[in-house]
Amino acid sequence: MKLLLTGDSIIARKEGLQEPHINNDIKKKIPQVEVVNTAISGINSGAFLAMLADLILKKPRGDKLAILLGTNDLALHKQVPPERFKQNIELLVASVICQYYPPNVVLISPPAVDERKQKKRNNKLVERYAGIINEVAHVYQVKFVNLYQAMINAGDLSNLCRGELDDGLHFGAAGYDLLANLLVEQLTR
C-alpha cells in the first residue's frame, strides 16, 4: 500500500527521528506500506489549498490519502473563522476526490491539547473544528479519525502532548502511537 500523508506540524514533526515520527510508527504497524509525507509545519487550511497541487495533486497517486488540518486554523492568535475553515475543507475534499475515491481519503481532526501548557489553543475550539471536519467527511463520504476525542478518552493529556517542544500541543512517542493506531485502523479497512 502507498499512503500519501499530509497536513501540518503534527504530521511533519520528526521528534528526534530521521523521518516524520508518524511515518515511522505507521511503518512499524504496516511493514509493507510506502509513506509519502508532504506535511508543512505551520500551514493552515487556506495556505494548504493554495499549495494543493504541490502537496497532493501533482504527487504520484497513492492508494490512500490522509490529511490532518485545523491545528493552526483554530489557534487564537491567527484563527481562521469556523465558516471559512469549513469552506476550505469542503474545497479540499472536493478537489481530491477526483483523484482519490472517497473511501480512500481519511480526514484527521486536530489533536487535543494540554491546556496547562498550550496558551494559543484550547480543547473547546479543537472540539468545534473537529466537528466541522466530521461534518464535511460525512457529506463527502470520506473517512474521519477523531484524534481529538481519542486523546480525550485516553486521558493523561500531559503525557500524550509531551514532545520535544513540550508545549502542550506537539507530541512525542505516546501521542504518535495513538495516532498511528487510529490511522492504521482506517487504512486497513
Encode pLDDT of 106-148 as tens digits. Answer: 999 999 999 999 999 999 999 999 999 999 999 999 999 999 9
Contact 77, 119 (CB under 8 A): no
Which domain covers residue 114, as residue numbers?
A: 2-187
Specify the 3-state DSSP secondary structure of 68.
strand
**What pLDDT does residue 189 have?**
84
Q: How many structural domains is the chain composed of?
A: 1
Whole-model pTM over 0.75: yes
What are the φ/ψ torsions at residue 68 (nearest 5 degrees)? -120, 110
CA separation for the pair 66, 123 (Å, rounded)? 22
Place of cell 503534527: 10
CA separation for the pair 127, 132 (Å, rounded)? 9
CATH number at residue 166: 3.40.50.1110
**What pLDDT does residue 8 have?**
98
pLDDT of residue 173 exceeding 90: yes
